[in-house]
Amino acid sequence: MTHVKICGFQKSEHVLTAIEAGVDSIGLVFVEGTNRTLNLREAENLLGDIKGSSKRVPEIVGLFADQPFDAVNEYIEKLKLDAVQLCASESMEYCSKIKSPIYKVISIDPLVPISAQMPRIMLLQQRHSLAGHRIVIDTKMPGAYGGTGTSFDWDVAADLSKSFVMTLAGGLSPQNVGQAIDQVRPWGVDTSSGVETQGQKDHEKIATFISQVKGKDSDKKSKGPFRLFRRN
């Protein structure tokens, strides 16, 4: 089954829509100066609302970018985060100091020839995979840490997916996530702006995105043993 993560929630009502639709992970942004960021108190209130309203609480992932590791660990402890997503240039040494499972973003710049980026991408994928980190392949845009709605060449992602378990991010929406799954065959998919309208999470888009992924998984199951024994 394809793992579904949606990031950038700011209101519990949107999280509850995602939970009802079957989301696996929700991402809360703690990167200062970004559009979807939450402070500690806001996050505590949101998580309190979720836990008081839903019998099922998905994996809670905190998003950070080159922030002091002790500050990240403080958020982990106070919010009881299940994992963190590190979105910038965090080193292996930095990662070793984080007290939770890690999703590590490896970025692809759509303006730079992929041949010039591939040695860096492959090295990072190997290092982080061996360390037990989950890999997220996302689009790099100047001054941003994801959530830009910009995609990159999925043929590149498909090649990477053959060698590493990875989550695909960058420009995914209800309209294209099915195609992305067919083409890339990722372990997971991740979106933020793709389920928004005018910068705000959209209940219908959230539910449709998740249903598109679940529907694609059902299609794969129905196509017999050849599909069933391939890695999702």
pLDDT by residue (tens digit) across 193-210? Answer: 999 999 999 999 999 999
- Classified as helix, coil or strand, 232 is coil
Instruction: Choose the catalytic residue: 7, 24, 87, 190.
Output: 7
User: What is the pLDDT, as a whole number, of residue 232?
Assistant: 42
Q: Confirm whether 82 is a catalytic residue.
A: no
* End-to-end Cα spacing for the chain: 6
**Does residue 142 surpass a pLDDT of 70?**
no
Q: For 16-23, what is the mean pLDDT?
A: 98
Per-residue pLDDT band for 222 (boundaries 50, 70, 90) equals low
Q: Confirm whether 95 is a catalytic residue.
A: no
Q: Which residue has the tokens 């043993």?
A: 225
Instruction: Choose the catalytic residue: 87, 95, 138, 190.
Output: 138
Q: What is the pLDDT of residues 182-197, one digit of tens each?
A: 999 999 999 999 999 9
| Domain limits, the chain | 3-228
**0.85 surpassed by pTM:** yes
Strands (E) in the chain, as ranges, are: 3-7, 25-29, 59-64, 83-86, 102-108, 134-139, 166-168, 188-191, 196-197, 200-201
Q: Give the DSSP H or E segment for 96.
A: helix 92-96
Percent of the chain with pLDDT over 70: 90
- Classified as helix, coil or strand, 214 is helix
Superfamily designation of domain 3-228: Aldolase class I (3.20.20.70)
| Residue at 13: amino acid letter | E
Q: Which residue has the tokens 């100091």?
A: 97
Per-residue pLDDT band for 227 (boundaries 50, 70, 90) equals very low
| Residue at 205: amino acid letter | K
